[in-house]
Structure 1
């Protein structure tokens, strides 16, 4: 048997290729050998950032500005949404002053209707919880329905009795009929030099369409129950009779007129007796000077004069300038509401046309009857 002097395994042994020693598994996880002497590793430096040009810097600045503006606009719109849609009436600043003494302006504008009463009621309930030193009613309306005017009068009278807060009325361009009715409870009335007021009286307005129906070939048929013979009184589809007019005058107009005289006398009894008021209650309209001479108003002046009178009525300390706020009903929020609030009469007309177009036959019939129904009004024919 021959020996292998080199101690290397042979091909015949099957232990591995010639010239390669056996692998020691114990050294498989040992660190690699050190680099040879004089070897210098090459450092991998990160690439230098590319310098922005002038247009790049301008674009980044513009993008940042737009982003900040967008955030600001969204915050602003959120505040508007909260202010415009948040529940009932809200106070806002009218004139700055001493916050421990406050006078509130309550505007009553346009026709006095059920919605006017709802607003005044909510506003005065709010002021009952935090009574001001005085309230100024800023009235600019030609009148309203009998029922709504009386309800507003009731709310103002109730507020005065409950809080003992003085109320001053300030008349704008017109405060006639129902506009004067709701001012009657005020402790003092100030009218602008160009104010139209008075018109103490009541009227019923309606219309008949029988001739129009004849022209278009429409014949209405009316049937009432056996014991409801007066059910068809004052219908717009036929002429009114003299008897019906007299019944309306006795049952509706005279009681409403008497109520008007009573309300004015109750509020102006310190300067006018009932007989004098009855003489004035002819429905005649008066200028501010005429109303002053007739003692229907106490002073001719502007809003600042009414506020000064309110400070006097509230008996505020001398030298105190109270903070003045105005209380208003928030509008609905949205593009249509904002455009309507800006006075777009064309938009209002379009909305009304769309509303009429969308009415069902039953709703349209009810709307026509509502419009045609005679309604007692405290309203002046002049504005």
Structure 2
């Protein structure tokens, strides 16, 4: 009787082992298929950076206040794009309410020089006001969403007149 039970236990252990082994093999095959299919789509440009196309359009987004730091980051990214020969043009998406006049001027001049080497299309998706408009208007063609806020270059400079105070206090 003991031999039969031992035999049944061994048979059950063997079946469990085979079942677990089959599950592992099926799991490994599924993972391999997912990796294979993912790499296929990656080569097609659906996922990741690689593409079979040699004529890519780089997309650069300026979607915050114009600052020296972010302007520097954008110019560094544009330099990387210029060095990558697979990029043939740039779609620059502007969405800035403005900010630093110095940074706006710097990026505007940079983009004008960049456009001489590679075509840029400027697209205003939501807002290009003040410094953002200054930057956007430096590139032709300029395309704007029909609901975008575009324009309003204005510099606020406080002016204080101390003439009356000087007369009152004495000069």
Aligned residue in 1 for 2:61: 107
Decide which of 128, 151, 155 is 2:82's aligned counterpart.
128
Corresponding residue of 1:171: 124
Deviation of 1:122 (Å): 0.9
SS at match of 1:106: strand
| Deviation at residue 55 of structure 1 after TM alignment | 8.7
Q: Normalization by structure 1: what TM-score? A: 0.31
Higher helix share: 2
2:105 pairs, out of 145, 150, 163, with: 150
Q: Using a 3 Å threshold, how does the CA distance of structure 1 residues 182 and 64 change in structure 2: closer, same or farther?
A: same
- Paired residues in the alignment total 138
Whether 1:187 and 2:121 are equivalent positions in the alignment is no
TM-score (norm 2): 0.63
Aligned to 1:280: none
Q: RMSD in angstroms over aligned alpha carbons?
A: 3.8
Closer, same or farther in 2 for the Cα pair 1:55/1:115, shift >3 Å? Answer: farther
Quote the offset at 1:58 in angstroms: 8.6
| Aligned match of 1:51 | 11
Q: Which structure's relative contact order is higher, taking Cα pairs within 8 Å and 6+ residues apart?
A: 1
Q: Given the superposition, is the C-alpha separation of residues 168 and 54 from structure 1 closer, same or farther in structure 2, using an over 3 Å criterion? A: same
Contact 1:124 1:155 in 2 (8 A): no
Which structure 2 segments of 5+ residues have no match? 1-5, 33-47, 163-171
4+ residue segments displaced more than 4 Å: 61-65
Structure 1 unaligned spans of 5+: 1-46, 73-90, 206-239, 244-383
